[in-house]
Amino acid sequence: MKPTQPTSTRRAIFIDRDGTLNEEVGYVCSLDEFRLYDFAAESVRLINEAGWLAIVVTSQAGVARGMFSEDFLAEVHNTMTAQLALEGARLDAIYYCPHHPEVGSEIYRQVCDCRKPKPGMLHRAAADFNLDLTECVVIGDRFRDFAMAQAVGGSSVLVLTGYGKDEFEQDRNSWPRQPDCVAENLLEAVRWVLNNAPNQKS
């Protein structure tokens, strides 16, 4: 007998990378510039333990700009995955946008559907994992992160690490919509999500 397929959809917490999981350094162009925040692993572990998917969504236009290759990006992501695993934390997937609308060689220079705040990465994840995006949450340090969540009817948390504090203090009056929550950092954001999420439908 085949095991029955789960019928309910799962929920995901989408996590921005730079400035949210790891220190914002502009562009991570060498492995030693990649430094996870000390609360990163615990945050991801809490997501794992709560049964949500932990999915990284990151804009990496440094590829289009010729600052690093997709192979190097894969190396950074392997390092990130390994460092998190050492502390018992697991990412379910990583999606990235390597594009830029104006710079780069043909394959990377394009008006894509995945450059934040466009929600292409969320749609790909929804297809891959059978997600209802209105039940998902994006956590990130920039307007473009929570605008991406709002574009698909999802929830959002702005963290004040990375660019978060500056954007919040300087730009919030011009934002068409505010994020659902503003948190000190990823750990506080995850706790807020897990405490405030309604019980899963179905």
Q: Does 167 bind Mg ion (CB under 5 A)?
A: no
Q: To the nearest 5 percent, what fractions of the chain are helix, strand and coil?
A: 35, 15, 45
The answer to whether 60 and 112 have CB atoms below 8 angstroms apart is: no
Question: What Å distances lie between residue 186 and 14, 54, 140, 148, 156, CA to CA?
Answer: 11, 12, 8, 17, 12
11 versus 17: smaller Cβ distance to Mg ion? 17
91 versus 114: smaller Cβ distance to Zn ion? 114
Stretch that binds Mg ion, among 4-12, 123-131, 134-142, 149-157 (CB under 5 A): 134-142
Integer Cα distance of 195 and 171 in angstroms: 28
Stretch that binds Mg ion, among 17-25, 71-79, 93-101, 178-186 (CB under 5 A): 17-25
Q: In the chain, what's the furthest Cα-to-Cα distance?
A: 59
CB of 118 to Zn ion, least distance (A): 8
Is residue 18 annotated as part of the catalytic site, yes or no?
yes
Which residues of the chain form contacts with Zn ion (CB under 5 A)? Answer: 97, 99, 112, 114-115
Contacted entry of Zn ion, Mg ion, none for residue 115, CB cut-off 5 to 8 Å set by kind: Zn ion
Residues whose CB falls within 8 Å of the CB of residue 127, separated by 6 or more in sequence, listed in order: none
Question: Is beta strand 155-159 parallel, antiparallel or unpaired with respect to 53-59?
Answer: unpaired
Contacted entry of Zn ion, Mg ion, none for residue 19, CB cut-off 5 to 8 Å set by kind: Mg ion
Q: Does 19 bind Mg ion (CB under 5 A)?
A: yes
The residue from 18, 92, 145, 180 that is catalytic is: 18
Q: Which residue is nearest to Mg ion (CB)?
A: 19
95 three-state secondary structure: strand
Q: Which of 72, 73, 199, 190 is nearest to 140 (CA)?
A: 190
Instruction: List the interface residues with Mg ion, window 136-165 (CB under 5 A).
Output: 141
Is residue 166 annotated as part of the catalytic site, yes or no?
no
19 versus 119: smaller Cβ distance to Mg ion? 19
Question: What Å distances lie between residue 128 and 32, 95, 123, 124, 191, CA to CA?
Answer: 32, 11, 9, 6, 26
Q: Does 179 bind Mg ion (CB under 5 A)?
A: no
Q: Which residues are catalytic?
A: 16, 18
Q: Which residues bind Mg ion (CB under 5 A)?
A: 16, 18-19, 141
